[in-house]
């Protein structure tokens, strides 16, 4: 095997500060000087034909290719130190970093241009660091001289060090330092201004303080948990509401175990456990439930996830004692029921409901209804013979009995006027046999009145009149409302009563024609009725026996 030819550039290959290799046209190394072999593996060939910096084995090499047909020369120049100096210079000139060095005596050795501008300090080598670069007291209130002496013994303690100082424009600023002793005599310091960060932290801390104060001031209990169920925050209201044991706030318990002290107080603990299970199975769910405690307190319990973007951070629970409001609501409900019942006692139920929705006048037309009037015979003499209290008591017993009969036959009591009693059938709800119901009630009224006597033992008589036809019914006015009837049918029914006889039931011919197949009548004859003239009327005597 013959030796490769000697390269033609003897002056280039002979230098010891550069590595040189001669390659054939295939890129195979034919020959390399000693320096190249020291820096690079003989089998390693830089392939990029353009000049470039090559980081290799801890060195920074400048690679150049020179054409030498049929092959080429490769020259490597070590620029490591120059590269490091360039990087160091770039670091010194970094626009947002303060770089400084001082000696063991605390005197300045170097301060970069950014630091000079930022602090308004001229780089006078040898000037004291304290009072120029660093304040006399650090952010924790400790003398800075203590740090300058102690950093040689506890360097890790001052690896992160914060101070305040005054900028060249007179405004205060915060600087975060990275301090490291270099050798036995110097300290290298790298500082970054963190004023905005500290101001943001202060604003955040003030906001958090206000938020905590707000949570402490509200009466709702508040409890914040992280994703693992650990307690992050709670207020005094939560403590006073539930009196949890100390271990409630420690440990990594799951949600069901942690809430045991609350679950045990519930009237329906299984329902509350289902509430907790829903939170566990639906991390994004917002829950709101009303729960009752064994001591009859009522709580609205709300749970909301707290997230940042798409990431859930935890969950906040609020506990609102609504016992008093529920008691008030229950009292209002009972009072409303009483008011509604009173209104239903005064007015028919559908009319009462309509008035609650729309308090305007109500007027309805009914083509076929039956009207009954009843009046106590000799009421004037009775009232003059007994006391007012006894009179009212007697009327109350009589009319209460009448009310029961009206309810039995599904008839609508309209009103009482003195000793007169008025009832109607076929309204406000339709009733196919309303006239039969009115007739049956009239017979029962006469049978019932016999049972009543005055306190002096005198019997009480009753006149009853009935007519059937069309009426207008409604409520008018705004005070002391009453449901009343108007029309010719009402007037005629009233005349049947007033022109009747004690102990009898007088009805019109219309009533007779409709009821004659099922009831017993006796013709009275022609009666002159005020406002109507002569009318044929009948006495209703009873019911015909059924087959």
The C-alpha atoms of residue 375 and residue 379 are separated, in whole angstroms, by: 8
Q: Count CB neighbours of 478 within 10 A.
A: 9
Strand partners, 421: 374, 416
**Between β-strands 59-68 and 71-78, what pairing exists: parallel, antiparallel or unpaired?**
antiparallel
Q: Count CB neighbours of 455 within 10 A.
A: 12
The C-alpha atoms of residue 233 and residue 212 are separated, in whole angstroms, by: 9
Instruction: Specify whether the CB–CB gap between 443 and 488 falls below 8 A.
Output: no
pLDDT at 1: 41
pLDDT at 141: 82
Give Cα separations from 303 to 240, 265, 412 (angstroms).
Answer: 19, 18, 53
pLDDT at 11: 45
The C-alpha atoms of residue 76 and residue 16 are separated, in whole angstroms, by: 11
Residue ranges of the chain with per-residue pLDDT less than 70: 1-17, 42-48, 79-95, 123, 201, 203-205, 207-217, 339-363, 454-458, 476-481, 547
**Between β-strands 52-56 and 71-78, what pairing exists: parallel, antiparallel or unpaired?**
unpaired
The kind and range of the H/E element at 60 are: strand 59-68
Say what the pTM is.
0.44
Instruction: Specify whether the CB–CB gap between 454 and 398 falls below 8 A.
Output: no
First to last CA, the chain: 147
CA 233 to chain centre: 19
Query: Could you tell me the maximum CA-CA distance found in the chain, to the nearest angstrom?
Result: 164
pLDDT tens per residue across span 423-462? 999 988 888 899 999 999 999 999 988 888 766 666 778 9
Q: With both helix axes pointing from N to C terminus, report the angle between 323-346 and 349-357 in degrees, rounded to the nearest 10.
A: 120
Strand partners, 130: 134
**Between β-strands 461-475 and 412-417, what pairing exists: parallel, antiparallel or unpaired?**
unpaired
Structure-token match 């011919």, residue found: 509
């Amino acid at each position: 095997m013959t030796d490769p030819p000697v390269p033609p550039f003897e002056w280039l290959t002979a230098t010891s500060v550069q590595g040189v290799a001669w390659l054939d046209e295939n890129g195979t190394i034919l020959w390399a000087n000693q320096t190249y072999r020291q820096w690079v593996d003989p089998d390693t060939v830089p392939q990029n034909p353009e000049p470039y910096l090559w980081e290799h084995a801890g060195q920074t090499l400048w690679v150049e290719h020179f054409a030498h047909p049929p092959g080429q020369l490769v020259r490597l120049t070590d620029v490591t130190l120059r590269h490091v100096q360039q990087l160091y210079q770039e670091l010194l000139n970094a626009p947002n970093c303060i770089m400084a060095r001082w000696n063991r005596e605390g005197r300045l050795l170097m301060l970069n241009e950014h630091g000079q501008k930022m602090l308004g300090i001229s780089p006078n080598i040898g000037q004291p660091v304290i009072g120029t670069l660093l304040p006399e007291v650090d952010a924790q209130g400790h003398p800075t001289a203590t740090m300058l002496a102690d950093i040689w013994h506890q360097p890790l303690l001052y690896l992160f060090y914060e101070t305040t100082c005054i900028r060249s424009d007179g405004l205060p600023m915060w600087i975060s330092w990275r301090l490291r002793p270099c050798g036995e005599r110097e300290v290298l310091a790298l500082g970054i201004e963190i004023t905005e960060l500290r101001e943001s932290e202060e604003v955040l801390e003030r906001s958090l303080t206000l938020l905590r104060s707000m949570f402490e001031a509200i009466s709702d209990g508040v409890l914040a948990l992280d994703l693992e169920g650990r307690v992050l925050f709670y207020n005094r209201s939560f403590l006073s509401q539930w009196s949890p044991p100390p271990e409630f706030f420690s440990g990594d318990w799951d949600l069901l175990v942690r809430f045991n002290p609350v679950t045990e107080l519930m009237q329906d603990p299984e329902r509350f456990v289902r509430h907790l299970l829903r939170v566990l199975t639906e991390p994004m769910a917002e829950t709101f439930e009303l729960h009752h405690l064994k001591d009859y307190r009522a709580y609205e319990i709300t749970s909301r996830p707290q997230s940042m973007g798409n990431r859930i951070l935890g969950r906040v629970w609020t506990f609102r004692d609504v016992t008093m409001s529920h008691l008030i609501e229950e009292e209002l409900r009972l009072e409303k029921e009483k008011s509604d019942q009173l209104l239903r006692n005064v007015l028919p139920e559908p009319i009462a409901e309509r008035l609650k929705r729309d308090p305007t006048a109500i007027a309805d037309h009914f083509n076929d209804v039956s009207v009954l009037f009843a009046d106590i015979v000799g009421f004037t003499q009775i009232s003059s013979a007994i006391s007012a209290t006894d009179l009212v008591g007697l009327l109350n017993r009589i009319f209460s009995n009448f009310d029961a009969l009206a309810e039995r036959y599904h008839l609508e009591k309209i009103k009482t006027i003195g000793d007169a009693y008025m009832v109607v059938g076929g309204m406000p709800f339709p009733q196919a046999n309303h006239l039969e119901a009115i007739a049956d009630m009239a017979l029962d009224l006469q049978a019932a009145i016999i049972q009543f006597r005055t306190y002096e033992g005198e019997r009480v008589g009753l006149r009853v009149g009935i007519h059937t036809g069309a009426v207008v019914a409604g409520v008018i006015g705004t005070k002391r409302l009453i449901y009343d009837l108007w029309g010719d049918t009402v007037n005629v029914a009233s005349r049947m009563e007033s022109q009747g006889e004690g102990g009898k039931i007088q009805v019109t011919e219309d009533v007779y024609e409709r009821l004659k197949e099922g009831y017993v009548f006796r013709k009275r004859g022609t009666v002159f009725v005020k406002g109507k003239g002569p009318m044929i009327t009948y006495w209703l005597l009873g019911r015909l026996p059924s087959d």
